[in-house]
Chain A
Amino acid sequence: MSAGPAKKTRSVSSRDQVLSAIRGALGREGADGQNRPDLMARLDNPVPNRVPDRGRLDGPARIDLFQAEAERVSADVARVAGLDAVPGAIAAYLGENGLPTALKVTPDAAIGDVPWAQQAALSVEFGATDGSDPVGVTGAYLGVAETGTVVLLSGETRPNSLNYLPDTHVVVIRADQIIGAYEEVWAQLRHDGGGLPRIVNWITGPSRSADIEQTLMLGAHGPRNLFIVIVGADDGKGIVMADDGTIVTADEGTRVGDAHG
């Protein structure tokens, strides 16, 4: 901050005053607060605390839990067999809910192979949003089954605003990206290396507010609709997508997996 050297000096000394007040209060006057190998070790090797059992499930059950939890918080979920069925699923969803069909899609490798052109009903543009796009489509980094949470990262192909400005937010996630617990997000990010991106979003359902007479309403500032398309999940449970884009329930018998043989 260039508020002049005077200000800067004062700020530095406030820093020292606060830190020394802390040390004084803790009875460690004069101690070097930073030479603490024990505490450094805690930061260098982060260990999960208690991880709830809830998300510790095998593949299909984990995906079911993810879906159930996401639906509990008013997200809409569809499952499709492959990336090629994604445009159909989105078109069907938008159609059924009477929503505009102009998509703004992240130019993200994660959903780069989606054959958008297949769906004439959709108009598709790639890039960031200026706020005028009704539907944003982004690829998830991971999904967390324990609360039906999608994890999205900012980055060079992933504008953060696209997750928040459009009225409808579509998140595309592969079934094998769905993990059990939040801790696995950190493990995966550390495994990927390079530190955290500027933004790690955990999104659990569409935007909401209960600030007026404690009445819960969706779509406060962020998206009114959160539509999660799970790709490759096909264990015969929940709502699934037929090739023609219609959404059917599993017990009606028509499933994408069947259609694909």
Chain B
Amino acid sequence: MEATTRQFTGNARQALKNDNLRAALDKLSHGFPYKRLEAAARLPEFEALRDQSRDIKAHVLENLDFYLQQFESKVIEQGGQVHWAKDAAEARDIILAICQEAGAETVTKSKSMIGEEIAINGHLEANGVRPVETDLGEYIIQLRKEPPSHLIAPAIHLSMDQVADTFKDKHREFAADRPLDQPRELLEEARTMLRREFLAADVGLTGANLLIAETGSIALVTNEGNADLTLTLPNTHIAIASIEKAVPTLEDATTILRVLARSATGQELSVYTTFVSGPKRPDDMDGPENFHVVLLDNGRTQMLGSEFHDMLRCIRCGACLNSCPVYGAIGGHAYGWVYSGPMGSVLMPGILGLEQTGDLPNASTLCGTCESVCPMRIPLPAMLRRWREQQHARRLTSTKSRMMLKLWAMLARRPGLYRAVMGLGVGFMRALAGGRGSLKSLPFAGGWTAVRDLPAPEGKTFTALWKERRK
């Protein structure tokens, strides 16, 4: 998908005007974060498990080559194939080639952020293969040709009415006047449509939440069961995963799974947690004959060992989005590409380049909520600051703001001058306010007074008054 990260400010402005989105985001911020807290409260070991999960992933990253090769050899041992892709284009080609070899007309897909990252759907379509998203939310946005707006709730920005309109528009075989004003009716219709696709698909394409080196298994979690149908019914199963998804053992996977759903939705565990190892065994009653894993780099090895190394611990739970005040204000689309929220603002400059994503590291209050909820204890605010440092160092910030900052910093290190200048400024503001307690507007403070009054200063600075009164 075309990135619109450069238009962040405009995107955000649009988003702020969208009432449907606002209602959805209000619901979100009153939902998942509280459920997460309840789930955490129910599990006394939750914090300890977060520590261990962080340590497991940190250990994997330090030995990523080893674990990926172990994983690979176990997959091959079980009759599966492993493909390595340096970038999105290569991953797309690999997947298309597998589909073509399978003679695929239809590919069912279970939600995969990597699939979004490499924009696989467009590529398949362009080459005559029809991809069908099967996660309900993904299905809806696929019909609408929209990108996901949340890691785990891709259609969260839509109202029921919007979904109903989409279904009426795209599902022409049903009576035009059928009732579609209940979520249940919409779900049933999607279920009917997708059931056919599941049964008819030639290839199933899934992501992978974890790659388990010990056994060459992938772990997948869903609530709908769509991944399981995707990986059971067609004759070929392709799993696509970025390289940092590796974990050593089944036990390590288990520990991470204990924090994943709790952090994401406040569930103890997702409904379906499935460990897949290789293709159908000779005696199995069902399952695909072919099993492929595509391992994607796409910038990960550049983050590895860099100051953004820790970001590779991310398990895409979405907790940082759910509790982020900025995400809660503007939703996912405003960020302009596949990812969003704090994790997206750290990740996307690494994938798309800082030139394309200048606003993302800055559009954060650095309130720290994301880090406090991140199951992998990723220091997201510190990494946003790292990007700001790079912007500053590479002179990607505006000349005006750099000059203002320089001037201010120069003053801040010269207390005498600072006090003289600030004293004047404060006196000026006080005079401007007159007897009123706040200012409605102020030259050079348009950013502040655009949306709020500026409480007027008392009149003299504390340091000046202290000198008068105490010395």
Contact = CB atoms under 8 A, between A and B. Distances in A.
A219 B321 CA distance: 26
A220 B153 contact: no
A186 B285 contact: no
Contact of B195 (A23, A131, A207): A131
B86 interface: yes
Contacts of A209: 136-137, 187, 223-224
Interface string B251-292: 110110110000001011111111111111101111100001
A215 B183 contact: yes
Interface in A139-178: 146-147, 149, 154-161, 163-165
A61 interface: no
A48 interface: yes
B105 interface: no
Nearest to B270: A204
Contacts of B155: 211-212
A2 B163 contact: no
Contacts of B410: none
Contact of A165 (B97, B217, B229): B229
B293 to A, nearest CB: 12
Interface string B87-123: 0001001100110110000000000000000000000
Interface string B449-467: 0000000000000000000
Contact of B86 (A17, A42, A53, A223): A17
Which interface residue of A28, A149, A214 has the most chain B CB atoms within 10 A? A214
Nearest to A51: B45
Interface stretch (A110-118, A190-198, A231-239, A252-260): A190-198
Which interface residue of A46, A128, A159, A212 has the most chain B CB atoms within 10 A? A212
A14 to B, nearest CB: 4
Contacts of B205: none
B260 to A, nearest CB: 12
Contacts of A146: 268
Contacts of A17: 86
Interface stretch (A33-41, A81-89, A243-251): A33-41
Nearest to B91: A14
Interface in B49-86: 49, 52, 56, 62-70, 78, 81, 83-86
A217 interface: yes
A43 B305 contact: no
Interface string A218-232: 011111000000000
Given A49-B251, A165-B229, A214-B28, A156 B159 contact: no
Contacts of B160: 212-213, 215
A223 B272 CA distance: 11
Interface residues of B, number: 106
Nearest to B277: A196
A228 to B, nearest CB: 14
A41 to B, nearest CB: 11
A21 to B, nearest CB: 4
Contact of A199 (B49, B62, B287): B287
A213 B90 CA distance: 36
B68 A19 contact: yes
A99 interface: no
A180 interface: no
B340 interface: no
Interface string A34-75: 101001001100111110111000000000000001001100
Interface stretch (B11-19, B242-250, B380-388): B242-250
A207 B225 contact: yes
B305 A49 contact: no
A1 B304 contact: no
B24 interface: yes
Given A46-B251, A198-B278, A211-B137, A222 B224 contact: yes
A134 B33 CA distance: 37
A217 B305 contact: no
Contact of A211 (B136, B199, B279): B136
B154 to A, nearest CB: 7
A121 interface: no
18 contacts: A1-B94, A1-B101, A33-B66, A34-B69, A46-B250, A73-B271, A154-B284, A160-B228, A161-B232, A198-B278, A200-B217, A204-B273, A205-B271, A208-B224, A209-B136, A212-B158, A212-B183, A220-B225
Given A52-B45, A161-B229, 13 more contacts: A1-B94, A14-B85, A18-B68, A19-B68, A22-B243, A26-B64, A26-B304, A43-B214, A43-B248, A131-B195, A202-B272, A208-B271, A220-B225
